[in-house]
Amino acid sequence: MKKHLTLTLALLMAIVSFGNIGFAHQKNNPVQQSKMAYISPGIIAQMGEGSIDDPIDAIVWTSVPIDKILERMGQDEGLLSFEPFKSMSCYYVSATGQAIKAIASMPETLRVQENYSVKTPDTKMADTKNAKVNWGLDDLKVRDLWKQGIRGQGVKVGLLDTGVDAKHPELVGKVTKFATFDTSGKIVPDVTEPFDRVGHGTHCAGIIAGGKSGQDGVGVAPDCELIVGSVIPGGNGTLAQVIGGMEWILDPDGDPNTDDAPRVVSMSLGGSIPDEDMVAAADAFERKGVLLVASIGNSGDGSTGSPGNIPSVTSVGAYDRNRQPGGFSSGNKIDWEIEPYHESVIKPDVSAPGVSIYSTYPKGKYAIASGTSMATPHVAAVCALLMSTDKSYSAIDLRMAIKATADDLGSKGWDTRYGIGAINPKAALDYLKKTGKVQVDINLPEGKVANLLIGSSHYRVDKSFALHLPPGKTSIELSSFGFKKVTQDVNIVAGKSSSISYEMSELPKASFKATMYGTDGNPANVGQMRIIGTSFNADSDDNGNFDVEIPADEYEVEFWSIGYAPKTMKIDFSKDPPKKIQLEKADVLVVALQYTTPSQYYSRRFDKYCYRAFDEMGIKYCPVNPYKFDLTSEQMKMFDRVYWFAGENGLYSEDVEVLEDYLREGGKLLISGSNLLYFESYRRDNSFFTDNYGIILKNSPTPLTTMVGVKDDDIGDGLVFSFSGGDGASNQLGADGFVVNKGNGKPFMYYLGPKETSPADLGYTGLKLQTQNFLSIFLAFGFEGINSKEARQMLLSRVEKWFTSFGGVDITFEDEKGNPVYTKAKIDGVGDVETNDEGHLVLSYLPQGKISLKVVPFGFAEQSFTATVTPGKTTRISFGLSNPTSIKISGKVIDSATGTPIKCDFKVVGFETKQYSTDDAGNFSLTLPKYKYSLKVFKKGYMNYWMDIVDNVEGIKIVLDKPKRAVALFQQIAPSWDTRSFAGIAQIYERVARGSGTDFDNIIIPPGNVVDYEDMQQFSKIIWYCGFNDEIGASWWLDNLARYVNDGGSIAIIGQNVPQAISSRPELAKTFGFELLESNTSIYAVKGVKGDPIGDNLIFSLYHPFLRMGLLSVAPSMRPVGSGVSCFDYLGGASAGVRVGTDKQKTLVLPFGFENMYADTKESQDLFKRIVNYLGK
């Protein structure tokens, strides 16, 4: 079954009767390990949910076409189908998870995104009794233009929406071309009759072209033609459908030699599509000369949506009949750092009527609706009116005209509520009538794009074009990297035509040979240079040397090398460029994991938030993006501190490897990012935070947006900030909340909730961790999301102060002769530590001042010492130990029932673990160096005996009991990657066991624990629950199973991956009487074998109740061999359970758990009881 990640890509409309539809804004910076293109979180989730053969729908963005590569892949390699969108630079693919990974590994692939599900909000008819006209017509005074015969005649307007009711009386005969698209973006060939099951598209179409023959209607340009693409048919669709529609509308007949594209296209849709995904698509419209008009969004001021927020798109805000901005109408200032845009823009561009708009609705009806969806077709239709007066007006002409003549409303100049102002059709027409035409001829090579600069406005062109400019002298600049910038002045005369030619001559190449040096005079390390505002970058060698050819011109150039702060300088490569580039050493490494970057090795996407905070504090830092630069732990160790700003996609095993190595070597690390804990739990490829920080996920993603610092904490005290509004990145769609599960991590931030909730109820968001090896700060949110510069600086300054407030000690413990002594110590504020075998202990991070050490040396009495810690220094200390001491242990072991002596084994656990045996009469006696010991006595068929020993213990009587219960339950169900979520499974097992009436010993095996064989040999019967566990299959587990069965123990092993684990040792699988057939049959129904003591008369389905937590449920099948007998079979498949029941052996292997049984509780309890009875008394 194909899966689509549900994402509201809202049509930007709201019917008055039920309020305004939300317009979600997302501008996230995704993360991915190096050497593989970015794979979005939704795709990763799908790869972890189902079978490896399940198809996944995705959109693949590439730098060059990959049709031939995909054709070669085919179904044999997991690629089921693909659809190219050549002008959009992307592909729809349906492929398995393995094929997705293969595609992401191609050097041509930029990123792999979900084929987002697109939904329209429910639309309802509103009361139209008091409104029979579109008030927008009067606001725009378009009737004055109609009187002049200007009605949009001869102009094609494109509409990408839910479709159109072409039979509506006001739209009859106006839809000249129509297409609808399937979920892969293909045209549905059999559907040629226009339709609209939702109404949104019909409403927008009416605003553009509504009007009965010879009569005024609701439309602004009643005589224009409509070319309509139904990209969200029925109110539901996919991103591929939207992209397919955009591709189609640029060439509706599929013949590039005909000019049948509309001159202007209206798109009243948008949403949380990553901005990068729409840049290429919007760029295709600009180069084609088609004006793309799009709604800016319905989420209010401070937000925008794509594609409306892209610089080349004319975006539209909405106002009401009083020319007040709609409360829902979006707008914001956007700092673009995505190729080809390196600029700041304010959106929207213009505004138009968009509140309570009366327009057409399917089945001949009318409706009132509000939204930037309604404002957008007003602007598109005004452009059609203007074009109808002169078909030579270009998209650039129209953009300049409507902006130059807009009525400035609100704040003076360009603002986020109105843009440049409300469009004024008559003023725009007057502007155009007074222009003169200039033909601009350029000789740009095919495939090259030039930047056109007129005044302060930028446009992108790739061929000759015509412009209509106002009278007077105008400067026109054309530039393209690698070509000489050309600027010419042209004198424009109203109503006259002129021409101008640009010879775009290629610049000669200049040889640039230079070396980056540090202030110490030594050559720098591997690095890069990039020319700002272009896509040019070049790598140095390992010693910072460059040897490249660069177009000879003057540029702003940035130099970067690992270990140093970047340096920007202006260089004229046509003259004598410098041979040496001096860089300053950086104190801090700032790792910003981002997929899109104008630079190869680090990204300026964090400039406004993270980097700027360091700049303002005067901290010298080296930025790096490991998505592109293969960062090693050795390079990280060059820095005193590392700040790791992760994106939304979690940590991968490659990241974890370098981070853990850095921490082991005494690093200072801050790590920040939303959903890091969530992805650790979901993907299960590492347990970085669980293992190193002792925290587990509490909530994710939480809808809360405000955080508070813990009172009196040196970092958190007094801090309060939010993720919404302000000058933050506004990219936090939810962050993790955690609780401390183990260790000495101290939370310092938490979510603000109601007074009756504690921080632990909602989850903490900030943790500081001080260990003897490393210092670390964890922020469960993106630092860039903090909504004020002051809060970001305050948090950063406190973290910096905390990092630099520690000192270290280098301690050696020695006896009176100077020999080293292994010692355990308890240190105030640190906890328990221990030396190495040579009595040596280095504590790198201790609070300044005096510390107290209470030590337990091996072979000595407990002693106390003090030491002084100086910040920034490591003090060497040697402590001499006194009073060597030993202890004596002796006693006798007897049977509790008979009182007779027992010869048995015992272990003494202390500095090391040693095993001993009693004599035949159960006696033992030992003299040991003074220490804290644990004594463990064990014998087959008896319960183990434990006791702690801290002093002399002589003549003790140890009594061993035999097991009194029917069976032992070994619960090893909680995998190491998620201990919290599996508590419910444990409850299921215990409920089933107790409900069966069985008396049992319950043995819980936490993740990471090893079960010694003597813990198994206590019991003659064991039922071992394994769940879906990543720890079974370890050598100790397999060794103990083999030994237990050979020693005559009866055991049932239950769990989804048990057959695979046992089969790693073929001889052991043969002992258990089976051979593994398939790791996953994908059959989830089981029937007991008739007459079998375990399976007889049982039949049930298997289901996956924990799929929501990412648990992969498999159904492995087996074939009985040797003495093995099948007790369950999959319906239509092989064995789903094998037992061996001989005089010497009673074993059972079940590849499913009780939590997977979709059956009555009594059936589960009955099965449990059958297993117990089968294993024997």
Place of tokens 């340009």: 221
**8 Å CB contact between 236 and 118:** yes
- Selection from 542, 208, 610 nearest residue 374 by Cα: 208
Contacts of 989 (CB under 8 A, 6+ apart): 969, 971, 973, 1025, 1153, 1154, 1155
| CB-based contacts of 1001, cutoff 8 Å, min separation 6 | 963, 965, 967, 968, 969, 1019
Contact status, residue 1114 vs residue 1170, Cβ threshold 8 Å: no
- Return all residues near 439 (Cβ < 8 A) that are at least 6 apart: 464, 466, 497, 498, 499, 500
Rounded distance between C-alpha atoms, residue 589 and residue 605, angstroms:
16
Query: Bridge partners of 846?
Result: 807
Alpha-carbon distance of 803 to 312, in angstroms, equals 45
Cα distances (angstroms) measured from residue 280 to each of 310, 1042, 1166? 10, 61, 62
Token readout for 994 is 């107790």
Residue 644 belongs to what H/E stretch? strand 641-645
Q: Estimate to the nearest angstrom the gap between the alpha carbon of 735 and the chain centroid.
A: 11
Query: Which residues are the active-site residues?
Result: 161, 200, 373
Can you name the residues that pair with 737 across neighbouring β-strands? 699
**Residue 370 amino acid letter:** S
* Residues, the chain: 1177
**Burial level of 935, CB count in 10 A (0-12/13-18/19+)?**
buried
Q: Give bridge partners of residue 763 from the DSSP assignment.
A: none
Helix (H, G, I), strand (E, B) or coil at 540: coil
User: What is the rounded distance in angstroms from the CA atom of residue 743 to the CA atom of residue 760?
Assistant: 16
Q: What are phi and psi of 47, to 5 degrees?
A: -65, -25
Distances from the Cα of 226 to the Cα of 110, 142, 176, 243, 423, angstroms? 35, 19, 6, 19, 22
**CA–CA distance, 248 with 85 (Å, rounded to integer):** 9
**Strand boundaries in 803-932, DSSP class E:** 806-814, 823-827, 831-834, 840-847, 849-857, 863-869, 874-880, 886-895, 905-909, 913-917, 923-929
Helix runs in 1004-1159, H state only: 1013-1016, 1035-1046, 1058-1063, 1066-1071
Cβ contact 731:610 at 8 Å: no
Q: Please list, in sequence order, all residues whose beta carbon lies within 8 angstroms of the beta carbon of residue 477, skipping any fewer than 6 positions away.
A: 452, 453, 454, 485, 486, 487
Tell me the three state secondary structure of residue 403: helix
DSSP assignment letter at 63: S
Distance CA 543, CA 538 (A): 14
Output Rg (C-alpha) for the chain, integer angstroms: 36
Tell me the one-letter amino acid at 1160: D
* Closest by Cα among 264, 474, 375 to 23: 375
Residue 310: phi and psi, rounded to 5, are -75, 135
Of 107, 38, 98, residue with least CA distance to 66: 107
